[in-house]
Amino acid sequence: MAIAVYQGVDGAYSQLVLEHFMRERGIAGSTLGVPSYRELVTLLSSLRGDFGVIPIENAIGGTVREAYDLIGEFELSPVAEILWRVDHRLLGVRGATLRDVREVLAHPLVIAECGKFLAGLEHARAIPCEDTGVAAREVARGGSPEIAALAPPSAATLYGLIELAAHCADHPATYTRFLIVRPKHGSLPGLARASDARRKTSLIFAVEERTGSLARCLSILAESGINGDKLESKPYLGHGAERIFYIDFDGDVDDSAVAAALANLRSACKSLAVLGSYDAHVGEPVGTPAGVTPSLERVPEHRVVEPIIVQVESPFPRVARPSKPHGTVLRVGNVRIGDGEFVIIAGPCSIESREQILETAREVAARGAIMLRGGAFKPRTSPYAFQGLGWEGVTLLAEAGRASGLPTVSEVMTVDQVSRMAEHVDVLQIGARNMQNFDLLKAVGRAGRPVLLKRGFSATIDELLAAAEYILAEGNPNVMLCERGIRTFESATRNTLDLSAVPVLRERSHLPVLVDPSHGVGVRRWIRPLCRAAKAVGAHGLLVEVHPNPPEAKSDKDQALTFADFSEIVEDLAQIPIPLADLVRAGE
């Protein structure tokens, strides 16, 4: 499955262009929106996306020079050009009318394209916005009839908006030229040149500041029978009055005549970058929806598009992804969880002594942990096993947290522990055995502290989400979910670490997801590979047990990591990239 990257969020024109290109070429895959063009080219050049789209020219606004410059700088290969006829509609919230509109959010190029239309909207002013998808999304989020967006009709359906006016561009034939680009060393089939395609080539070159130097360069092309398609210039900053030229022409660098002309051009100009050759767009621009005949004399229509809103009875509406599509970012002191950084919470299973917790705190802080864990009230299978230091342990944990600068997390086992624990630790942990202790969930929901909710070892994913809903329903939105292994027939490991829960939880819920491989496998040497897997599969972070001297640990000694183990894991994790989709901050 290919990953196709565009700048923007769902509903952007670039996304529509990518989907069109993928349909045309029979490429299966998904589109991924990123916040900026620079991020887009960086992803592609590091082979973390298969191809992408960049608008390079707008019929009204002219060349998008940043796009040419980035394609050159990151050495991407152009694949095909697509001319897309934009069809701007004015979208508002349900119940809004044209008369209500005071602000119109739109991409600056769209504002330029809809100048007359906007001038005719009394009392409304245009507000530039980074892309069309964001404009539509903000209108939906704001919920005000006074704010509208200029966006394609598909964005109305996507964000549940209505059309207040159709075909808003001043000129019905306005279009944008997009270039599909791929990494130079990418290998996705389906991106090869189409056999019958007319080819085009794009160049950037700089000429000496001398009379006739541009004319000489152009005549080299003309003498070779090359038909220039477009020429544009900008100052060559830092080089006096010299200028940089962008030129597109018919032909392919692999044609011998073109190759010879480029060799001559290279010697005639000061510098030359060949962006590459690509399939030219043939025929009229695409993208105009069937049945729409743009007209210069059109009057804004008032038409309602029924949004697709699926009402589902959900047992966890507050926890479900749609209630916060862009994800919860949990803040604990200076720490942020769920914000695109992969974080590690570390510390001993049990707090055993002042020295033990202070040393562990110091060491894990120095080696990259962002939060200190430690159990004071331990849920042990045997009543004769070490039960934890209780409140004395909580005091020691708080001291170690202050000394190391790390926020702290510790388990609460009963309702009557909650408020006192909340005074001393930063995050309240609900252990696997208590995941469905509903009174306890309600109590932590009211305690005013973030909650780390562990999955019960015989709980389904939906039961975990419903347990989180108890906490949110009490008014506490700050919950992180933790997969810590479930009980299966497998006995080689302490539990079965259900890493498949991570993408499922990420899809179903907006809450951050942690993985606890320590309790998942229970064996020190298997924790390291599972840490890598947890990051690769899309978890937001880890919870791991670390002890100064594992053989002496009073609980869970087989799974306790040494400080050296912990460092190796941190180093390993630096080699694992955060999954692509998490780089999408979607304008948040």
Residues that bind Mn ion (CB under 5 A): 349, 556
Tokens of 346: 């570390």
Q: What is the 3-state secondary structure (H, E, C) of 137-177?
A: HHHHHHCCCCEEEEECHHHHHHHCCEEEECCCCCCCCCEEE
CA gap 455, 453 in Å, rounded: 7
Tell me the closest approach of the beta carbon of residue 435 to ligand PEP, in angstroms.
8
Q: CB burial class (10 A; 0-12, 13-18, 19+) of residue 242?
A: middle
Residue 336 interaction partner, one of Mn ion, ligand PEP, none, beta carbon < 5-8 Å per kind: none
Tell me the closest approach of the beta carbon of residue 537 to Mn ion, in angstroms.
22
User: What DSSP string runs through 420-466?
Assistant: HHHHH-SEEEE-GGGTT-HHHHHHHHTSSS-EEEEPPTT--HHHHHH
Cβ 54 vs Cβ 64: under 8 Å: yes
| Of positions 338, 431, 538, 541, contacts ligand PEP by CB under 6 A | 431
Residue whose CB is less far from ligand PEP, 78 or 393: 393
Residue whose CB is less far from ligand PEP, 7 or 429: 429
CA gap 121, 447 in Å, rounded: 50
Segment interacting with ligand PEP (CB under 6 A) among 84-92, 243-251, 290-298, 429-437: 429-437
Nearest residue by C-beta to ligand PEP? Answer: 431
Segment interacting with ligand PEP (CB under 6 A) among 69-77, 262-270, 401-409, 427-435: 427-435
CA gap 273, 271 in Å, rounded: 7
CB within 8 A of 326, min separation 6: which ones? 510, 585, 586, 588
Residue whose CB is less far from ligand PEP, 137 or 519: 519
Residue 131 interaction partner, one of ligand PEP, Mn ion, none, beta carbon < 5-8 Å per kind: none
Is residue 348 part of the contact set for ligand PEP (CB under 6 A)?
no
Query: For residue 484, which phi and psi values (nearest 5 degrees)?
Result: -130, 20
Segment interacting with ligand PEP (CB under 6 A) among 17-25, 94-102, 280-288, 426-434: 426-434
Segment interacting with ligand PEP (CB under 6 A) among 160-168, 206-214, 216-224, 431-439: 431-439
Distances (CA, A) of 51 to 66, 74, 201, 310: 18, 13, 18, 32
Tokens of 37: 């063009």
Sketch the per residue contact string, 502 through 541, with ligand PEP: x for CB under 6 A, - otherwise.
Answer: -----------------x----------------------
Is residue 454 part of the contact set for ligand PEP (CB under 6 A)?
yes
Residue whose CB is less far from Mn ion, 147 or 553: 553
| Of positions 349, 370, 372, 561, contacts ligand PEP by CB under 6 A | 349
Tell me the closest approach of the beta carbon of residue 545 to Mn ion, in angstroms.
6
Tell me the closest approach of the beta carbon of residue 349 to ligand PEP, in angstroms.
5
Cβ 45 vs Cβ 77: under 8 Å: no
| Of positions 167, 484, 506, 508, contacts ligand PEP by CB under 6 A | 484
Is residue 432 part of the contact set for ligand PEP (CB under 6 A)?
yes
CB within 8 A of 112, min separation 6: which ones? 58, 60, 61
Residue whose CB is less far from Mn ion, 57 or 411: 411
Residue 321 interaction partner, one of ligand PEP, Mn ion, none, beta carbon < 5-8 Å per kind: none
Number of residues engaging ligand PEP in binding (CB under 6 A): 9
Residue 379 interaction partner, one of ligand PEP, Mn ion, none, beta carbon < 5-8 Å per kind: ligand PEP
Nearest residue by C-beta to Mn ion? Answer: 349
Cβ 183 vs Cβ 45: under 8 Å: yes
Is residue 406 part of the contact set for ligand PEP (CB under 6 A)?
no
Residue whose CB is less far from ligand PEP, 169 or 514: 514
Q: Within 373-392, which residues bind ligand PEP (CB under 6 A)?
A: 375, 379
Residue whose CB is less far from ligand PEP, 375 or 393: 375
Handedness of CA 247, 251, 257, 258 (dihedral sign): positive
Query: For residue 74, which phi and psi values (nearest 5 degrees)?
Result: -95, 10
Q: CB burial class (10 A; 0-12, 13-18, 19+) of residue 512?
A: buried
Pick from 179, 207, 206: which is nearest to 74 by CA?
A: 179
Distance of CA 339 to the CA centre of its chain: 10
Binding residues for ligand PEP (CB under 6 A):
349, 375, 379, 431-433, 454, 484, 519
